[in-house]
Amino acid sequence: MTITVKCRLYPTAQQQEMLEQTLDGCRWVYNYFRNKPMSIYDMQFALTELKESHPWLRNYHSKMLQMVVHQIDVARSGLRVLSKRGKKTGKLKYAEECNTFVYNQTGFKIERHGDTDLLWLSKVGYVGEIRLHRRQPYNIKQISITRKPSGRWYANIVCEQSRPLVVPPINTSKSIGIDVGITKFVHDSDNHSVDNPQFLKKMLKPLRRADRKVSRRQFGSCNYKKAKGMRARLWERIYNKRHDFLHKLSTVYAKRYDLIFVEKLNIMNMVRNHKLARSIVDSGWTTFKAMLEYKAKLVFEVNSYNTSVDCSRCGNKVAKSLAVRTHRCDKCGLVLDRDYNASLNILQSGKALLGDGIGLPMGHGEFTPVEIAAQQQSLKQEEEAHELIRG
């Protein structure tokens, strides 16, 4: 399996200048080839000849420049797929700046100097201290260096590790249904709820103040760039807080339960409601589900139709608006929280979806490990894309 470890880089001023020069070189190569009707092999051959007329390109690692050419080819393939699907597409846009460069297979190493880990890149040298929050990665296949809008630098280390994809033992008694919401982020079928922290909503006032500062500065001036950096740091702080919350919550559910059932939500349709769009996007439901999928043993999506309307005891339909937060059944007299009732319906729908296989998880075809399911879906999408391109 392949894992990616994201680490913070702390380059000095001189090292930061070298990294920015490398980004400028990648940007120049991207803009040179972006609209030339050439295959990836012709672009790689032309890149070799380009170094003769532009000797300064020899100051950059050759494999890194080839990854820029590969990026252009992948982008063109994506445009062809969209065009086959009837979407209106144009040409690749001119890149005013580049924020990431990739070292693939060769040209990098991580060295230990005392208590400090240093990252070395070919043609660049040492790029500063790297903070490894896990044990030192091994069998590294690729390292990508990214500059965030806030000015911080990160290294994404891709490692290949052997891990047998076997079905883990499943305890079906450890099953739970999870209902996500805006006021309460989750309410599960064990009647546990977690309030939605709404990090974006709490930071709206400083964000608006930062936007006013940017709009009042002269475009392109030093003060303009400083104001933009301050605004970017606010957005990065919101991102970090949200992901920290989602990681901790998803880890709790992944450790406690073997079977997790969640709703299959169409977020794109839900955000059309402009009164709730900001709160929905701020919640990060899709990110939470993705974290559950790679942390938990088994995660299943169930149809979200009428989960808040049906009574979890008798199945009677009790229509209610979003303002009504209590479920009251006229038929069986059940009174409980609306979200708790929905989570019970999600759990029941999930068990009904599995059917008789719920007692025999090891032999039932529906029980597929998350890693295998993700790989199968990725391969299927790849095949469809190639078919569209070939067609």
pTM of the model: 0.79
Which residues share a beta bridge with 377? none
Each residue's pLDDT tens digit, 129-157: 888 877 777 788 999 999 999 899 999 99
CA distance 362 to 380: 24
**DSSP code of residue 234:** H
Token output for 131: 């903070």
CA distance 213 to 82: 39
Q: How far is CA 139 from CA 108, 136, 159, in A?
A: 12, 10, 6
Beta strand 298-303 pairing with 259-264: parallel
Q: How far is CA 287 from CA 15, 236, 247, 249, in A?
A: 34, 16, 9, 12
Each residue's pLDDT tens digit, 43-69: 999 999 999 999 999 999 999 999 999
User: Averaged over 224-240, what is the pLDDT?
Assistant: 94
CB 245 within 8 A of CB 195: no
Each residue's pLDDT tens digit, 154-177: 999 998 877 665 667 888 788 899
Average confidence score pLDDT of the chain: 85
Token output for 34: 């972006």
Which residues share a beta bridge with 188? 178
CA distance 254 to 314: 30
* Amino acid (one-letter) located at 110: I
